[in-house]
A and B are shown apart, each in its own frame.
Chain A
Amino acid sequence: MSLLEVQAVSKAFGGIQALSNCSITVEQGTITGLIGPNGSGKTTLFNVITGYEKVDAGTVRLHGQSIINATPDKVFSLGIGRTFQLTRVFPRLTVLENMHIAARRERMKALFSRWSSTLEQQQALELLDFVKLFPYKDAPAGNLSYGQKKLLEFALILVAQPQLILLDEPAGGVNPTMVNQLADLIGTLNEQKNITFLVVEHNMEFVMGLCDTVNVLHRGSTIAEGTPAMVRKNPAVLDAYLGA
């Protein structure tokens, strides 16, 4: 069974059909790419999967179970984490505090316990070390550079140990050195912790180098799916990008 199945999803905003009959499948343990021209519906698809948008038609299944009506917090607790195209960390909280928001607690403990337990603290610091943000742990997250914020946003999801992470343009606006660092991080997590990734990205080099499978979205529908090499040669993809 596939980890994530999006089947025939449609979503319109007023007269604009953002997704029409869109289907993609993400297999367990893969790094799956999602590319497409601007406005092709990639971010909308992310919003649909993570519960930020309701669909007009279609289903989304995680491990075969429908998550179509789940709220964002529910989707997150089922094991899907995501980052945003415009990085969203909590600017007035410290880096370490940011790392604790996603930590899970039992019902009543969420209200009455301290913000950080020893174990959580240790885990948070290890993850910060992993993304090389340890020296900034006590700084307000708003003071980090753009690339560092991307790393933090990435790390703070890992706290909850998700099975699937959706990355919305992780390499966008980041300097080349950090792009490589990010690609390494994703690769390591995929291999060592068996985390599955679905990545939206415009940087083709990044996508082609990292992903096992690539889905191409155009005007809200999937027009191609396959290995990077196959997709690159697909005439429909070339048409979509070159506007034939």
Chain B
Amino acid sequence: MKPALLSQLRRPLALVALVVFVGIFPVVIAPNDTYNTIAVFTLIGAIAVVGWNIFSGYTGYISLGHSVFYGFGAYTFGLASLHWHIPGGWEPFLFLPLAGLVAGAFAFPLGWIALRTRRHTFIVISIAWVFIFQLLAYNMRGITGGSSGVLMPLTPWVAPYANLPFYYIAFAMLLVAVFVSWWIRHSKFGLGLLAIRDDEDRALGLGVKTASFKLTAYVLSAFFVGMAGAIFSYYIGSVYPELGFNPAVDITIAIMGFLGGLGTVAGPLVGALFVTPFQQWLGLQFGGQGLDLVIYGALFLAILLLLPRGIVPSLQDWWRTWRTARQARLADRARAARQEQPAVLAERRGDG
């Protein structure tokens, strides 16, 4: 009974340990501004990619245009704080759900249009959104402030603690996003999305309402990406067209998703954990010459070629193969033991 209980508790315990580790990381393990900054970016990236994965990972429709929702979230957050005269500090964080909702509201018509297409056409349309809205953000100066953008409220927090509010808010949002993603993966809805990924027409023929399933997933994923964009701009201090509607963000999200493993709950987290610190380091080393983006593109290519399924699914496969092989070995040994036994018995009988 006891070992069974222990193995049942192993996963929850590991999860609790992980949450505690991330929880104390910026104060106990790395109380250092440089590390904390990278950690905040990592968490924000993780929220975005977990959200993106709810749509692109589960349905297999690769969106390279989710940065529009990043932008909608960021602008909503900035404009709401600006027009309602909210001072910097904790209060603006209350606008995060609003930023997500506005991004989700925009996702409705955008998804409705884009999801009439599939595969490559869908990818191209998703990219088009970014440029359309970037251009609009430049030109609708009355609302967006044009190329100078919108300034976020100034935070009152100072040096050693300035990162911590962002860190913990982002961490809390990430927990929510992961929970939603996990829930979907284990729901009837999620099974429908995965069926769409494998064979959409067949799924439709088995009663899966593919159109509404895809749109729902698109809107949900936009919600989380929108919140990620909002907290990112608040952290950076402003939002302007190139930052809000930024194709590099799309590439980053896609790299994180592909590297970690599309369509898994843990994959995007693993991807964000690897990619964001690496990206920050690249930016520091090669940012001046713009080489970081070149290396970045090369990395994307390498991942697609070498690890198309991502780290998590590959590891799961190795683990499964190893376990099956081990079980087979054990079974062989047991069989061998059983075959020896009769011989022993016969000997004994002979003795008696």
Contact = CB atoms under 8 A, between A and B. Distances in A.
B194 A92 contact: yes
A90 B198 contact: yes
A93 B205 contact: no
B178 to A, nearest CB: 18
A39 interface: no
Contacts of B210: 73
A160 B201 CA distance: 17
Contacts of B195: 90, 93, 101
Contacts of A130: none
A88 B188 contact: no
A112 interface: yes
Contact of B206 (A51, A71, A93, A160): A160
Interface residues of B, number: 23
A156 B206 contact: yes
A63 to B, nearest CB: 18
Interface in A57-82: 71-73, 75-77, 81-82
Interface in A66-111: 71-73, 75-77, 81-82, 84, 88-93, 97, 100-105, 109-111
B273 to A, nearest CB: 24
Nearest to B185: A115
A160 B205 CA distance: 12
A114 interface: yes
Contacts of A75: 205
A156 B198 CA distance: 15
Contacts of A92: 194, 197-198
Interface string A181-219: 000000000000000000000000000000000000000
A115 B187 contact: yes
Interface centre among B186, B194, B202 (most CB of A within 10 A): B202
> What's the interface size class on A, roughly?
35 or more
A101 B208 CA distance: 7
B95 to A, nearest CB: 27
A133 interface: no
A77 B207 contact: yes
A88 B190 CA distance: 19
Contacts of A146: none
Interface string B47-85: 000000000000000000000000000000000000000
Given A113-B187, A114-B187, A102 B198 contact: no
Contacts of B190: 115
A124 B24 CA distance: 45
Nearest to B203: A101
29 contacts: A52-B201, A52-B205, A72-B201, A73-B208, A73-B209, A75-B205, A76-B205, A76-B206, A76-B207, A77-B207, A88-B199, A88-B202, A90-B195, A90-B203, A92-B194, A92-B197, A92-B198, A93-B194, A93-B195, A93-B198, A100-B188, A101-B195, A101-B203, A104-B207, A110-B188, A111-B187, A115-B188, A115-B191, A160-B206
Given A72-B204, A114-B188, 9 more contacts: A71-B204, A81-B206, A89-B202, A90-B203, A111-B189, A113-B187, A115-B190, A156-B206, A160-B207
